[in-house]
């Protein structure tokens, strides 16, 4: 086993305006991907396969230690370079490799309580740059990774037991919704990924895989619209708050994007291998370490559901309402922008509240 880490210069990004090619632009309008993509090869791992022998593990803090199943996972994969990345190391990687990109802006504008969304973006980014296998630190894969990864594999994904419904996540006009995806009869007959949700607690990819790339692009698009208060997501404030992470950056986004790429007409077929449910054919164990929300006060589901926090740390300020509009709405209840607010006008004064 080889342990590796990134030593990267930290360059925190401003959420206001960035200078790109000597032209000041809004950060959400920057390219999603870096202009100068670094070499995908790092460390000393040798591999004759398209998916390199890099094993990526995400943790909050290196000082917290590893879960009990990790040493056995490493022992089964001694030829693989193991990269255990803390939150600080994820930030360092994103700041260095994705400087002057809208992906970095999206990464930094996510609220701390929605840290799972940041981890989603990081895993896509590191797999797109370097490739390899990603596994959650509380999950496991009992089969050696060399048995799972064949020489010509470019993407290996698995699916949950839960079915996927793009209309639950996205408004009808958005291109990942079922309404939009199955707008013609031919597509309606397609059964992609058994109509299940692709999981992202474990996945394997060669560098620069198009499904990973499109997932990052769609994540930035969704976050940009959230920031502008023009959400592409269904009104999830009445449902489980953690669903917004699933749809904005997590498994639902990955599923909708992969489905769209696979069904794309007039394009070369995209290479992927679909494992059995929860990687059972390779000894996959989701949540091998019990980490239920009720047992972990810091669990992102608790932060989102109980504290009623938003996905992003800040939003584009709404324009003020002029006196003419206020007088026209006097005494009437008014639905605010994108279902985010409801208010009533009393004697020319707007009174109401934000909807969480």
Query: pLDDT digit string (tens) for 226-274?
Result: 999 899 998 655 556 778 999 999 999 999 999 999 998 788 899 999 9
- 336 and 216 assigned to the same domain: no
- Residues 327 and 279 placed together within one structural domain of the fold: no
Please compute the mean of the pLDDT values over residues 168-191 and round it to a whole number: 85
If asked whether residues 60 and 174 sit together in one domain, one would say yes
Question: Do 118 and 41 sit in the same domain of this protein?
Answer: yes
- Specify if 171 maps to a domain: yes
- 88 with 133, same domain: the answer is yes
Q: Per-residue pLDDT for 166 more than 90?
A: yes
Considering the entire predicted model, what is its pTM?
0.84
Confidence bin at 322 (pLDDT 50/70/90)? confident
Same domain, 249 and 201: yes
For residue 157, pLDDT over 60 is answered with yes
317 within some domain? no
Residues 81 and 197 in one domain: yes
Q: Are residues 209 and 330 in the same domain?
A: no
Strand-by-strand arrangement of the 81-85 sheet:
2-4, 81-85, 54-58, 132-136, 202-205, 155-157, 273-274
Letter string b/e over residues 128-156, b meaning 16 or more CB atoms within 10 A of that residue's CB: bbbbbbbbbbbbbbeebbeebbeeebbbb
When divided into structural domains, the chain yields a total of 2
Assigned domain for 312 exists: no
In tens, the pLDDT along 196-221 reads 999 999 999 999 999 999 999 999 99
Q: Which domain holds residue 337?
A: 323-354
100 assigned to some structural domain: yes
Pair 327, 296 in one domain: no
Residues 330 and 271 in one domain: no
Domain assignment present for residue 313? The answer is no
Is residue 263 included in any domain, yes or no? yes
Instruction: Tell me, yes or no, whether 161 and 99 share the same domain.
Output: yes
Alpha-carbon distances, residue 211 vs 11, 132, 133, 247 (angstroms): 28, 15, 15, 16
Residue holding tokens 């909807």?
A: 355
At residue 186, the pLDDT reads 65
The CATH number covering residue 141 comes to 3.90.550
Is residue 163 located within the same domain as residue 111? yes
């Amino acid at each position: 086993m080889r342990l590796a880490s990134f030593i990267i210069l930290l360059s925190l990004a401003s959420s206001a305006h960035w200078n790109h090619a000597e032209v000041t632009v809004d950060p959400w309008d920057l390219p999603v991907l870096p202009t100068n993509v670094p070499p995908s090869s790092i460390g000393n791992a040798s591999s004759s396969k398209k998916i390199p022998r890099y094993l990526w593990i995400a943790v909050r803090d290196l000082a917290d230690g590893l879960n009990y199943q990790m040493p056995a996972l490493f022992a089964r994969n001694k030829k693989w370079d193991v990269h255990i990345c803390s939150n600080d190391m994820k930030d360092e990687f994103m700041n260095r490799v994705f400087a002057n990109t809208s992906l970095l802006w999206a990464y930094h504008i996510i609220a701390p309580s929605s840290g799972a969304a940041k981890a989603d973006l990081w895993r896509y980014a590191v797999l797109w740059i370097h490739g390899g296998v990603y596994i959650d630190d509380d999950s496991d894969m009992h089969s050696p990774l060399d048995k799972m990864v064949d020489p010509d594999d470019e993407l290996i994904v698995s699916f949950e037991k839960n079915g996927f419904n793009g209309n639950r996540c996205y408004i009808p006009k958005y291109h990942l919704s079922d309404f939009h995806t199955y707008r013609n009869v031919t597509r309606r007959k397609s059964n992609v990924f058994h109509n299940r949700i692709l999981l992202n607690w474990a996945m394997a990819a060669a560098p620069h895989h198009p499904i990973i790339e499109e997932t990052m692009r769609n994540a930035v698009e969704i976050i940009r619209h959230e920031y502008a208060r023009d959400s592409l997501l269904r009104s999830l404030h009445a449902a489980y708050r953690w669903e917004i992470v699933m749809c904005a950056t997590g498994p639902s986004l990955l599923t909708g994007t992969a489905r769209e790429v696979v069904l794309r007409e007039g394009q070369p077929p995209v290479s992927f291998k679909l494992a059995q449910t929860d990687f059972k054919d390779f000894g996959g164990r989701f949540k091998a370490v019990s980490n239920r929300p009720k047992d972990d006060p810091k669990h992102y589901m608790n932060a989102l559901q109980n504290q009623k926090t938003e996905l992003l740390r800040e939003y584009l300020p709404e324009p003020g309402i002029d006196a003419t509009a206020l007088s026209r709405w006097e005494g009437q209840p008014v639905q605010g922008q994108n279902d985010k607010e409801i208010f009533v006008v009393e004697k020319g004064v707007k009174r109401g509240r934000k909807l969480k």
